[in-house]
Amino acid sequence: MRLFKFFGSAPRTDRPFALILAMTIALSALFINAASVWAAGKNQPNWPEETETAVQKVPLSSRATSQNPQMLALRSPELPAQVAADTSSFVTAAVDRVGPAVVRIDTERTVSRNLDPLMEDPFFRRFLGEDLRSMTPRQERLRGQGSGFIIDKNGIVLTNAHVVDKADRVTVTLNDGRTFPGEVQGTDEVTDLAVVKINTKGVNLPVAPLGDSDAVKVGDWAIAVGNPLGFDNTVTLGIISTLKRSSAAVGIPDKRLDFIQTDAAINPGNSGGPLLNSRGEVIGINTAIRADAMGIGFAIPIDKAKAIYAQLAKGEQVSHPFLGIQMIALTPEMARENNSDPNAPLIVPEVTGVLVMRVMPNTPAEKAGIRKGDAIVQIEGEKVTQPEQLQNLVENSQIGQILKLKVRRGSLTKDVTVQTAQLRDF
């Protein structure tokens, strides 16, 4: 028999014993194999049941994240629309809330052009003829475009002063395509703000909710809405890059503003449009960009607009007291470095304060006897160390108010009184 072939042949007298031994060995092997199969079956996990239990207890996203972060991205199509909603809903909601109140402002103005003096010369007129002279345009129509937003149901639109500057005709176009003629109620060049009134004829207008620019923090979301380069209803997204960026630091010394800086794209035509927070509230008015940089835009804080727009709507002049000086910050180290230079144009006091670099003619500062090289160290008893600080203190005073200054001139300390005046009067 094949099963017992390896045992070899046995004598005839021992065949019964050999047969019993072989059967015993075979039965033992059979029982051992059965026991092994039973033990393996008992210890083997129930894979289908275990897999089902694991899926129920551990969400797919958690398993993918804990095992391999890339698996989540690869398997994202299996996830519901909740992920997409979480990443875009706040921008959509903000734009839906304010978008209908954002308008396009088209302007026209007539510019007179003087004829070339050659055209008036009788010698050249003989050769050129009267026809060529009469064909030369004396006037030209210039067109501009910007943005704005409605802040009152009565048709009050807030925008930049430079958008409607010297405009003969203003047309306001709403988000839904309706157009209204606009009338410039008031402008303030110092803050670059303007109010335009449209005749609603009893039509209800959407209004943009105004936020609190003082509550804005660096890193907050910033949403710019407007009509850049003629592309209506354009939305860009960024963050607040910094706060209280002075107009002097930006390169606009004729303004008195502390800008909100953002990296949300602001392009020509965006001027006057709103800068929104994540809740869809206006926190600024887009106004300027740096031509020599990308991703740097500036907006006027909405709190500044809230403080003066009522005056502009009434056609009133906004008060801007001033002294009439150009100034820089001064420290003892700067003064010592300057004074050690034998070619220095003047010797300055080695103190901390604001150094007068120039006194404008026919201004309150000149009348008060302030000179170039003076160091202003106090105003109304408050120490000053930065030009922006001094300017803000003057800006918050009243027209005609007498301010007391403490000035260092060389080694002498002088008390000087200055009566402020309206900036536009000089």
Amino acid at 113: R
Active site residue 246: no
Number of C-beta neighbours around residue 138 at 10 A: 9
| Residue among 392, 421, 418 nearest 406 (CA) | 418
List the catalytic residue out of 247, 271, 319, 397: 271
Burial of 200 (0-12, 13-18, 19+ CB in 10 A): middle
SS3 for 348?
Answer: coil
List the catalytic residue out of 162, 220, 278, 303: 162
Q: What is the DSSP string of 224-270?
A: EEE-GGG-SSEEEEEEEEEEEEEHHHHT-TT---EEEEE-S---TT-
Q: What is the DSSP string of 55-89?
A: HHHS-HHHHHHHH-HHHHHHTGGGS-THHHHHHHH
Report strand pairing: 102-112 vs 156-159: unpaired
Active site residue 152: no
List the catalytic residue out of 106, 188, 192, 374: 192
Active site residue 303: no
Number of C-beta neighbours around residue 146 at 10 A: 26
Q: What is the DSSP string of 279-320?
A: TS-EEEEEEEE-TT-SS-EEEEEHHHHHHHHHHHHTTPPPP-
* Tokens matching residue 33: 């194999």
Task: List 322's β-bridge partners, or say none.
Answer: 421
The Cα 194–Cα 158 span in angstroms is: 6
Active site residues: 162, 192, 271
